[in-house]
């Protein structure tokens, strides 16, 4: 099933992940390409997929060697900082025009300025290519905002609700993509998209995860939204934490000191806020394969794909003669 989408080979999406296009631009007025959605991904019909047009985003020619931008339905990065520029004030946490920014951490940012733009300042942008590089940047820049799929963070930036001083985009980090099978478990990497969770190979191992992924938002959002982002949103707004908790999953959190594991139950505080310290990054989740019956159900305001009023998961483990309902 062909789907038109904006894609950039620099982010590796269309070439390395057939049927998937990461947001990105190479030149102003970015190109539209056609990508075939894998047949084994359940869909809601072609009409549900968003077809971006050139007016939906604006490409940035950045001062350094890389390019960074992201397509969202509300625009791009420029509106988030244009209002501050018009008022003659830098956005919160940014360097005023004419001043020199503080030295950046080791690991050269792939974009640090906006050439030929009226915007006075933009965040320092980093595109790490490995988890090690990512956590080093986060340790040096604890004020950085992390972008995976961008479905939650980008609307906040484009609307002006957030003015980050630094952004770390994980699009180049190949280690965080996909999933890996293991003895009696599967390792879901943080960059695994909700669309990819519905593919037959993974659905056969953890069907409840695929069921939950299918209920999150519209199809075009599921093509960008990731496991890591869903975990960081928290159980109050996301569906995957409920499923992973019922299956006895553990979250993998990386930092410069190594990788620690924590159960999904302990990953959140009583208010549903993820318990991460500065410089830490969610890199995946280890999910036991339960061969018994399992299923996910949710009640939403406008139906199955809207924000949940109530989500529940039942997992039966015949080997342990146990059943878990969350």
The model's pLDDT over 152-183, given as tens digits with 9 standing for 90+, comes to 888 888 888 888 999 999 999 999 999 999 89
Report strand pairing: 166-169 vs 145-147: parallel
Pairing of strands 124-126, 166-169: parallel
Residue 135 CB burial class (10 angstroms; 0-12, 13-18, ≥19): buried
Q: For residues 236-257, b (16+ Cβ closer than 10 Å) or e, as one string?
A: eebbbbbbbbbbbbbbbbbbee
User: Rounded to two decimals, what is the model's pTM?
Assistant: 0.63
Q: For the chain, report the end-to-end CA distance as a whole number of angstroms.
A: 36
Same domain, 181 and 168: no
Residue after which a domain boundary falls, among 153, 173, 193: 173
Mean pLDDT, range 92-99, rounded to an integer: 39
Among residues 146, 173, 200, the one where a domain terminates is 173
Split at pLDDT 50, 70, 90, the class of 220 is: confident
Q: What is the DSSP letter of 193?
A: B
- Indicate if 186 and 164 belong to the same structural domain: no
Same domain, 38 and 133: yes
- Measured CA to CA, the distance from residue 135 to residue 173 in angstroms comes to 12
Shared domain for 182 and 318, answered yes or no, is: yes
Strand residue runs (E) in 106-249: 124-126, 145-147, 166-169, 179-182, 185-189
Check whether residue 161 and residue 197 sit in a common domain. Answer: no
Of 173, 199, 234, the residue that ends a domain is: 173
The number of distinct structural domains making up the chain is 2
Range of the domain at 205: 177-325
**Residue pLDDT, tens place only, 21-58:** 333 333 333 333 333 334 444 443 332 333 333 333 32
136 & 28 share domain: yes
Cα separation, 213 vs 275, in Å, equals 23
């Amino acid at each position: 099933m062909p789907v038109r989408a904006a894609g950039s080979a620099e982010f590796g999406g269309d070439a390395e992940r057939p049927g998937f296009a990461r947001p990105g631009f190479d030149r102003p007025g970015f190109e539209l390409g056609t990508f075939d959605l894998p047949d084994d991904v359940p869909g809601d019909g072609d009409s549900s997929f968003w077809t971006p047009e050139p007016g939906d985003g604006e490409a940035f020619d950045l001062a350094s060697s890389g390019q960074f931008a992201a397509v969202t339905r509300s625009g791009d990065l420029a509106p988030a900082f244009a209002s501050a520029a018009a008022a003659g004030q830098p956005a919160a946490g940014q360097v005023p025009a004419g001043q020199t920014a503080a030295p950046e951490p080791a690991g050269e940012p792939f974009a640090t300025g906006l050439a030929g733009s009226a915007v006075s300042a933009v965040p320092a942008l980093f595109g790490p290519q490995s988890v090690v590089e990512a956590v080093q940047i986060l340790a040096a820049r604890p004020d950085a905002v992390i972008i995976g799929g961008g479905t939650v963070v980008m609307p906040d930036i484009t609307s002006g609700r957030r003015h980050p001083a630094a952004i770390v985009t994980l699009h180049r980090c190949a280690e965080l993509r996909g999933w890996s099978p293991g003895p009696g478990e599967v390792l879901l990497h943080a960059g695994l998209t909700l669309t990819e969770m519905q593919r037959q190979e993974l659905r056969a191992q953890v069907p409840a995860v695929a069921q939950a992924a299918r209920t999150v938002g519209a199809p075009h959002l599921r093509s960008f939204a990731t496991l890591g982002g869903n975990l960081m949103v928290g159980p109050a707004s996301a569906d995957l934490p409920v499923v992973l908790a019922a299956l006895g999953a553990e979250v993998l959190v990386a930092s410069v000191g190594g990788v620690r594991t924590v159960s999904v139950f302990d990953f959140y505080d009583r208010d549903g806020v993820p318990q991460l310290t500065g410089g830490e990054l969610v890199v995946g989740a280890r999910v036991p394969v339960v061969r018994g019956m399992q299923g996910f159900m949710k009640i939403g305001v406008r139906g199955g794909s809207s924000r949940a009023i109530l989500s529940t998961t039942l997992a039966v483990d015949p080997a342990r003669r146990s059943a878990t309902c969350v």
